[in-house]
Amino acid sequence: MGTLWSQERPPEEGQPTEHSRWWARARRLIMAVLLLGLLLGSSVLLFYIFRSCGPPLSLSPTGSCEMPMCLHLLDHYLASGNTRAAPCTDFFSFACGKEKGTSNSFQSLAEENKSRLRRILEAPGSWHLGSGEEKAFQFYNSCMDTSAIETAGAGPLRQVIEELGGWPISGNWTSLDFNRTLRLLMSQYGHFPFFRAYLGPHPTPPHTPVIQIDQPEFDIPLKQEQEQKIYAQIVREYLTYLNQLGTLLGGDPGKVQEHASLSISITSQLFQFLRPLGQQQAQGKLFQIVTIDKLQEMAPAIDWLSCLQATFTPMSLSPSQTVIVHDLDYLKNMSQLMEKQLLSHRDFLQSHMIFGLVGTLSPALDSKFQEAHTILNSKMGSFYKAGLIPAHPRWMKCVEDTGDFFEPTLAALFVHEAFSPSTQSAAMDLFTAIKDALITRLRRIPWMDEETRKKAQDRVTQLQVKMGGPEWAMDPALARQEYSDVHLGPSFLQSFLSGIRSRQARIIQSSLRPFPHQSDSSGPWGVNAYYSITDHMVVFPAGLLQPPFFHPAYPRAVNFGAAGSIMARELLHIFDQLLLPGGCPACDTHALKEALLCLEHHYAAFPLYSVTSFNSSLTVLENAADLGGLAIALQAYNKMLLWHRGETTLPKLGLTPQQLFFRSYAQVMCRNLSTQDSQDTHSPPTLRVNGPLSNIPAFARHFYCPRGALLNPSKRCQLW
């Protein structure tokens, strides 16, 4: 082979052989294939480069969420907003200003949760026989059995009054000891006619539960500053109502009128003793810690030890036991009034307590009592622009009472129904993103010193979170506990009173545990998130993490803008103390004061529209939380966009994902302007929308707001 190869001669130049021509064609083909592959590879690379630099894919029609829950959310947004409003001037009207008035997003969600509870309670044969479930379902059914309640009439209530010693207006009255009657009302009927007593966290660490004595809640809606004409109208309507109650219980009309008038006089005098919350704050007297024997000395008309011991059994109380008093001056004046009434009008004092009890129990009575209370609410609402909450249908009240008295059972059933493990996982992922964004943001807050910054980050890291419902609510066995202390019948009123006593006992037993937990005020179906100082825990109930605020299938812009901003706002309440005067001595107090002053001026630049009772001095902390909550949620959302491509939006709404984020934030705040209360610690809803949005440069950029527009001011505040 070597000889043969050595003997072969090279071809002459310009005279290619057949073999060389074949190799030339092959080389050209290979080069063409390589060139085509290079061009295709470059095109793919350029596509990904330009996709990263250009607008997100979600802006194309294929990026729309077409799932049923998204379409339902779209309908909700279209129904609540007013696209004719200019977003750069008044985003609240743009998001919430539908023509027929603004609905309350939280109230609507709360009602939807109650409808879900109703479906659970009315599902046929869905409980376990002999269990707590069965007792809860039976209570609900007896509450809905209005024919049986009508048949019983006022008889069950008369029996209760007899147990209290009777009623002077009916003629059958045993002049019992005043404190004995008060003790029975507090411990057996959950009625507090002259003050409120309840268990709440101690204001100082470790925040263990302690008895709190607070101002009473009046059935008559008097206000601190009220026109004389309106006051006279309110008194007249309330007198009519009390006369109806007395007549329904067989009282002589003349005697009823006299006792009703004296009852209103007592209420009016007690009301004059109250001090507004703002005044208590200014005087630094939000609470005082006193012993029971000291309280007895200062307000001697009440047998404090006896009344509190009966109410909070099985707690063991002594004269040296400390309690928290929220308005000691009120209690002193109340005691003096009681002593005066006991000397001259003991029977009128008994009537006053009975009138109040009948009003409290009216939901458990027949339709005549309920109608009288409904008419009173309607009349009282007409005196104020804000009005009162309209009367609820019977089923809603029955759901509320069943939830109050059988919370463990309904908590388990509701969480199982409304908060699946996948929903909980998605909600926890959202919370983690919000918490991480806050920790990052704490690094660059200008008024914090380094030590405070480190402590603040540690506080966030150590925070506990309760998402959806208590852990025990996930245990089906607890849904079937026995409730041996709840006795149903023979009348619905007796079942109702048994539920009151069982609930009170459950609260006290919980506080006596080695590690007491703060019970949710409305169960997992509630819609209020909160930060618990006692447990250093944020709570986000399952009832809140529902459409239209949250759903795993929603565009992320919706979840971050709505639920995410709520989460961030509650996290910021951890640092409320730092914002109060003297709350952070090591911080740059000058910079902090400047930031808070900027915030005050920032909010003052917006019109209040129809809101007249706004008290800006009470809203500083909530304004700060609103402002920071939006900024932190946006920061978390932007970080998410860097890691997760392919964001979606809602069809037919005409909003980019970033615009949808701000729209979803505003949707949370939708509420009727006329419902603002003068003692509300939140700003009016228009300010809660327009104030924070105008402080975010990204909002003006994404909605193309011209410089100097109301929501694109030249100066913004740097608090968080």
Q: Can you tell me the distance from the alpha carbon of 692 to that of 606, in angstroms, rounded to the nearest whole number?
A: 12
Q: Can you tell me the distance from the alpha carbon of 329 to that of 69, in angstroms, rounded to the nearest whole number?
A: 54
The 8 Å CB, 24+ separation contacts for 242-249 are 242/355, 244/372, 245/355, 245/358, 245/359, 245/369, 245/372, 246/169, 246/355, 248/154, 248/368, 248/369, 248/372, 249/154, 249/157, 249/158, 249/161, 249/167, 249/169, 249/170, 249/358
Q: 207-225 burial, b for 16+ CB within 10 Å, e for fewer?
A: bebbbbbbbbeebbbbbee
Strand order of the β-sheet with 530-532 is 464-468, 537-541, 530-532
- Its sign, for the CA torsion 552, 553, 559, 560, is positive
Of 697, 699, 639, 640, residue with least CA distance to 664: 699
For residue 123, the surrounding DSSP H or E stretch is none
Question: What secondary structure letter does DSSP report for 538?
Answer: E
Q: Any idea what the Cα angle at residue 115 is, between residues 70 and 103, rounded to 5°? A: 60
Among 366, 570, 622, 647, which one carries the catalytic annotation?
Answer: 570
Partnered with residue 531 across adjacent β-strands are: 538
Going from the C-alpha of 193 to that of each of 218, 337, 356, 376, the distances in angstroms are: 8, 13, 7, 19
Q: Can you tell me the distance from the alpha carbon of 59 to that of 106, in angstroms, rounded to the nearest whole number?
A: 30
CB-count burial class (<10 Å; 0-12, 13-18, 19+) for 594: middle
Per DSSP, the three-state class of 301 is: coil
Q: Any idea what the Cα angle at residue 492 is, between residues 486 and 497, rounded to 5°? A: 50
Interaxial angle between packed helices 492-511 and 155-163, expressed in degrees from 0 to 180 and rounded to the nearest 10:
50
CB-count burial class (<10 Å; 0-12, 13-18, 19+) for 156: buried
> From the DSSP assignment, how many helices (H) and strands (E) are in the chain?
30, 7
Other Cβ atoms less than 10 A from the Cβ of 413: the count is 25
| Tokens coding 448 | 């914090």
Q: Can you tell me the distance from the alpha carbon of 409 to that of 129, in angstroms, rounded to the nearest whole number?
A: 14
DSSP-derived pairing of the beta strands 322-325 and 209-214: parallel
Per DSSP, the three-state class of 462 is: helix
Contacts for 216 with CB less than 8 Å, ≥ 6 apart = 192, 193, 194, 195, 196, 270
Query: Catalytic site residue 570?
Result: yes
Peptide bond into 548 cis (omega under 30): yes
Q: Can you tell me the distance from the alpha carbon of 604 to that of 684, in angstroms, rounded to the nearest whole number?
A: 12
Please name the residue that has the structure tokens 């009151």.
500
DSSP-derived pairing of the beta strands 464-468 and 537-541: parallel
The per-residue DSSP string of 131-156 comes to SHHHHHHHHHHHHH-HHHHHHHTTHH
Instruction: Tell me if 685 sits within 8 A of 673, measured CB to CB.
Output: yes
Query: Catalytic site residue 626?
Result: yes
Among 626, 647, 677, 680, which one carries the catalytic annotation?
Answer: 626
Q: Any idea what the Cα angle at residue 329 is, between residues 325 and 335, rounded to 5°? A: 90
Amino acid letter, residue 35: L
- Active-site annotation, residues: 570, 626
